[in-house]
Amino acid sequence: MGANRLACLVVGAGAMLGAAGVAAGQWRDGAQVYEKVCAHCHEANVGPVLKGRQLPQVYIERVVRHGNRAMPSFRPSEIDDTALAEVAQLIGASAPAVKE
């Protein structure tokens, strides 16, 4: 396991703990979920870039619930179904990130 993947697991575990502190239905919207949970890895070149890839919503929801490789899974008690659907829709409809 590479250092980047290990760092992602550590950050992901921290995000999970932080997410666990937010009760189901307490997320403001999908953007907040992305900012507080996803961006730690997917905006830091640790996990794959998600924005702008037109990933299907069902695929995103499945990976979030079941994990994939170094990405941890997130239980409904951590990210409720409504918030998950919102973040999946946000990611699926997003434009590619602009690199400066």
Q: Which residues are catalytic?
A: 70-71
Residue 42 CA to residue 12 CA, distance in Å, equals 11
Taking the CA atoms of 37, 33, 48 and 67 in sequence, report the sign of the dihedral they define.
positive
Those residues whose C-beta lies under 8 Å from the C-beta of residue 51, and which sit 6 or more positions away, are: 42, 91, 94, 95, 96, 97
Residue 53: φ, ψ to 5°: -100, 0
